[in-house]
């Protein structure tokens, strides 16, 4: 999506990627195929997909290299998880509540997949902003339930509350997120980030056969497996409305 935005805006895009470049004559697949079509410059690091620290070091190194060339790079961390990045899902939460109200209900919970914390922070910021503005009563506000698919977010890194509060600052909303409102369910990651799970594969098949929805084994499929697991555990009753946010990833099905 960053590469697509760059192509629309005429901004040069460099991507720091896990794994190795395809062999000579080989073809990119999945998200990398799309990024290449959008004109992004690909920088393969050879790092494992779960080695985010190594990828971040490579990003910082590339940023410095581009700056030395006289360019003015805007360097985005993994997942776009910054206060600015979180604004997207703060606005999405407001839009979601408006849409639900137009259909005559408020959700009991909003469930989504989380890896680097930006989506989570944005949803919490949007929820806090609506409560502070009087547009949503605290007692009717939906639970924000993250299904953690990366080890960092499962251990509380980054601090989602701090990221949400920074987003609220950009929104000029004088409130903050309560640490007690942060819920991350870490049970659905499996062995590691980007390693498929049986539950995730089953969730992908469930979604495809019931709704024609496409989800991937790294991200959204694991998130949906968490939602289905919570339903099986009777977290909610039959009268509760629960929203699952499909935050993308399906091009990985074709990788």
- Tens digits of per-residue pLDDT, 93-118? 999 999 999 999 999 999 999 999 99
For the segment 157-173, the average pLDDT, to the nearest whole number, is 94
Report the distance separating Cα 202 and Cα 95, nearest Å. 30
Last residue of a domain, one of 76, 108, 131: 76
Q: Mean pLDDT across the chain, nearest whole number?
A: 94
Helices (H), the chain: 2-9, 30-37, 52-68, 83-102, 118-132, 151-154, 160-170, 198-211, 220-232
Contact, 55 vs 78, CB < 8 A? yes
3-state secondary structure of 28: coil
- pLDDT band of residue 166 (cuts 50, 70, 90) is very high
**Same domain, yes or no: 160 and 130:** yes
Report whether pLDDT(24) > 90.
no
Q: What pLDDT, on the 0 to 100 scale, is given for residue 26?
A: 81
CATH number of the CATH domain containing 41: 3.40.50
Q: What is the 3-state secondary structure (H, E, C) of 63-132?
A: HHHHHHCCCCCCCCCHHHCCHHHHHHHHHHHHHHHHHHHHCCCCCCEEEEEECCCHHHHHHHHHHHHHHH
Half-sphere exposure of 240 (CA within 13 A, CB side): 15
Residue at 83 is within a domain: no
Last residue of a domain, one of 76, 109, 140: 76
**Same domain, yes or no: 99 and 60:** no
Host domain of residue 54? 2-76
Tokens of 69: 């060339």
CATH number of the CATH domain containing 164: 3.40.50.1100
- pLDDT band of residue 153 (cuts 50, 70, 90) is confident
Q: What pLDDT, on the 0 to 100 scale, is given for residue 36?
A: 94
pLDDT, tens only, 26-51:
888 899 999 999 999 999 999 998 89
Report whether pLDDT(135) > 80.
yes
**Same domain, yes or no: 66 and 184:** no
Range with lowest mean pLDDT among 77-81, 113-117, 173-177, 205-209: 77-81
Q: What pLDDT, on the 0 to 100 scale, is given for residue 54?
A: 93
Q: What pLDDT, on the 0 to 100 scale, is given for residue 140?
A: 96
Angle at which helix 83-102 crosses helix 160-170, to 10 degrees, equals 80
Q: What pLDDT, on the 0 to 100 scale, is given for residue 202?
A: 98
**Same domain, yes or no: 225 and 123:** yes
The dihedrals phi and psi of 148, each to the nearest 5 degrees, come to -80, 125
For the segment 13-20, the average pLDDT, to the nearest whole number, is 95
**Same domain, yes or no: 70 and 147:** no
Report whether pLDDT(25) > 80.
no
**Same domain, yes or no: 63 and 120:** no
Q: What pLDDT, on the 0 to 100 scale, is given for residue 52?
A: 87
Q: Which of 49, 41, 100 is nearest to 73 (CA)?
A: 41
Residue at 84 is within a domain: no
Please count the structural domains in the chain.
2
Residue-wise burial string across 73-98, b where 16 or more C-beta atoms lie within 10 A, e elsewhere: eeebbbbebbbebbbebbebbbebbe
Residue at 159 is within a domain: yes
Last residue of a domain, one of 76, 103, 130: 76
- pLDDT band of residue 229 (cuts 50, 70, 90) is very high
**Same domain, yes or no: 23 and 134:** no
**Same domain, yes or no: 216 and 118:** yes
Answer left, alpha or beta for residue 158, where phi above 0 means left and psi between -120 and 50 means alpha.
beta
Report whether pLDDT(82) > 80.
yes
**Same domain, yes or no: 246 and 182:** yes
168 or 29, higher pLDDT: 168
Contact, 159 vs 204, CB < 8 A? no
Residue at 162 is within a domain: yes
Q: In angstroms, what is the C-alpha Rg of the chain?
A: 19
- C-alpha torsion sign, points 155, 161, 166, 171: positive
- pLDDT band of residue 255 (cuts 50, 70, 90) is confident
Residue at 81 is within a domain: no
**Same domain, yes or no: 212 and 150:** yes
**Same domain, yes or no: 192 and 166:** yes
**Same domain, yes or no: 40 and 126:** no
For the segment 136-147, the average pLDDT, to the nearest whole number, is 97
């Amino acid at each position: 999506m960053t590469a697509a935005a760059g192509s629309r805006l005429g901004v040069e895009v460099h991507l720091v990627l896990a794994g190795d470049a395809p062999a000579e004559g080989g073809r990119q697949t999945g998200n990398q195929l799309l990024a290449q079509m959008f004109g992004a410059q690909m920088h393969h690091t050879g790092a494992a997909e779960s080695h985010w620290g190594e990828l971040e070091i490579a990003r910082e190194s590339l940023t410095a290299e581009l700056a030395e060339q006289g360019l003015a790079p805007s360097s985005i961390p993994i997942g776009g998880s910054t206060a600015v990045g979180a604004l997207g899902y703060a606005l999405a939460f407001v839009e979601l509540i408006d849409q639900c109200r137009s259909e005559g209900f408020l959700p009991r919970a909003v469930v989504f997949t989380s890896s680097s914390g930006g989506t989570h922070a944005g949803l919490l910021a949007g929820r806090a902003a609506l409560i502070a503005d009087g547009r949503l009563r605290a007692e009717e506000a939906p639970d924000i339930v993250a299904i953690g698919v990366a080890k960092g977010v499962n251990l509380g890194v980054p601090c989602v509350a701090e990221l949400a509060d920074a987003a609220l600052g950009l929104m000029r909303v004088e409130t903050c997120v309560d640490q007690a409102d942060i819920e991350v369910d870490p049970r659905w990651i499996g062995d590691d980030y980007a390693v498929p799970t049986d539950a995730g594969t089953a969730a992908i098949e469930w979604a495809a056969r019931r709704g024609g929805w496409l989800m991937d084994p790294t991200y959204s499929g694991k998130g949906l497996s968490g939602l289905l697991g919570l339903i099986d555990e009777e977290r909610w009753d039959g009268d509760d409305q629960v929203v699952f946010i499909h935050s993308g990833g399906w091009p990985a099905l074709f990788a």
